[in-house]
């Protein structure tokens, strides 16, 4: 049996159930309409989200755009990029919101100098790469913040700022929008200080061994899930309105942001 893992947007809880329903539809389509064998009926919850990306038996997973552009290209096959109907999203493009506590005195990015930042993961496009690009022009000697704590997830970064363990974090617009829809109390003490630049969103990928035919069937299954009226509630919960097929070239701007930060002497958020 092969592996499917869709773990990027499963918090707050309604998203986990909707994602499971979404995958059941995809799985049924691949098995019954496309005639593919070995397609799992349920999503794998045992692996960390990033461990699934390079699994040799991967059917489908959702990667982060920055690690896809930086190290996964050539080791997985790009299937499609989702389109989310949430503030900050523009077709397949997305941005991050730089958040601070409502009571914080900061009014600009420059005011963040010497404060403590939270980052979900230093490999994250939305939590680190976009954030670094925004701060790099302000950094001096490769430093800007007094400290950077790694939280392991956007929701945890939100909690860190809310509880005062960090002063600022960059949260992708999908996570922020979902939190505002389903658990707005978790954002009640926070405000958006600034928005980052935008770039291509989190791609759906399959194993490098998947044939052109399998990739095409995966794209057909995703499109069927967008068109089928029976999934209307699932799509609404996920704020999912479509899929776009992007090329590797269209993910290159994410690496350009990294190169610009390095050129400014700010290779790592710190």
pLDDT tens sequence across 52-93: 999 999 999 999 999 999 999 999 999 999 999 999 999 999
How many structural domains does the chain have? 2
Residue 53 lies in a domain: yes
Residue 266 lies in a domain: no
Verify that 139 and 109 share a domain, yes or no: yes
Verify that 133 and 158 share a domain, yes or no: yes
Verify that 31 and 122 share a domain, yes or no: no
Residue 12 lies in a domain: yes
Verify that 81 and 114 share a domain, yes or no: no
The residue-averaged pLDDT of 173-198 equals 98
Verify that 148 and 221 share a domain, yes or no: no
Here the CATH number for the domain that contains residue 56 is: 3.40.190.10
Measured CA to CA, the distance from residue 180 to residue 188 in angstroms comes to 9
Give percent of the chain with pLDDT exceeding 90: 97
Verify that 105 and 189 share a domain, yes or no: yes
In contact, 207 and 56? CB cutoff 8 Å:
yes
Q: What angle do CA 255, 71, 225 make, to 5 degrees?
A: 90
Domain that holds residue 23: 3-85+201-254
In contact, 98 and 194? CB cutoff 8 Å:
yes
In contact, 97 and 170? CB cutoff 8 Å:
yes
In this prediction the pTM is: 0.95
Retrieve residue 2's tokens.
């092969």
Q: Kindly tell me if the per-residue pLDDT of 245 is higher than 90.
A: yes
pLDDT the model gives residue 49: 86
């Amino acid at each position: 049996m092969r592996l499917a893992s869709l773990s990027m947007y499963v918090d707050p809880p309604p998203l986990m159930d909707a994602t499971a329903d979404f995958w059941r539809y995809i799985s049924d389509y691949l098995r019954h309409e496309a005639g593919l064998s070995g397609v799992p009926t349920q999503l794998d919850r045992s692996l960390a989200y990033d461990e699934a990306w390079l699994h040799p038996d991967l059917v489908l997973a959702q990667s982060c755009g920055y690690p896809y552009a930086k190290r996964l290209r050539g080791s997985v096959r790009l299937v499609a990029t989702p389109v989310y109907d949430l503030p900050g999203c523009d077709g397949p493009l997305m941005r991050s919101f730089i958040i601070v506590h409502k009571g914080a005195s900061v009014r600009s990015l420059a005011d963040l100098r010497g404060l403590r930042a939270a980052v979900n993961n230093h490999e994250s496009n939305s939590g680190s790469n976009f954030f670094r690009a925004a701060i790099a022009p302000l950094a001096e000697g490769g430093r800007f913040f007094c400290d950077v704590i790694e939280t392991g997830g956007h929701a945890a970064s939100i909690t860190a700022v809310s509880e005062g363990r960090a002063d600022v974090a960059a949260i992708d617009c999908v996570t922020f929008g979902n939190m505002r829809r389903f658990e707005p109390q978790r954002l009640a003490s926070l405000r958006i200080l600034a928005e980052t630049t935008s770039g291509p969103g989190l791609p759906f990928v399959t194993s490098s061994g998947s044939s052109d035919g399998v990739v095409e069937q995966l794209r057909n299954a995703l499109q069927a899930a967008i068109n089928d009226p029976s999934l209307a509630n699932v799509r609404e919960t996920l704020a999912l309105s479509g899929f776009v097929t992007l090329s590797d070239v269209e993910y290159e701007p994410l690496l350009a942001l990294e190169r610009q930060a390095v050129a400014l002497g700010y290779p790592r958020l710190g």
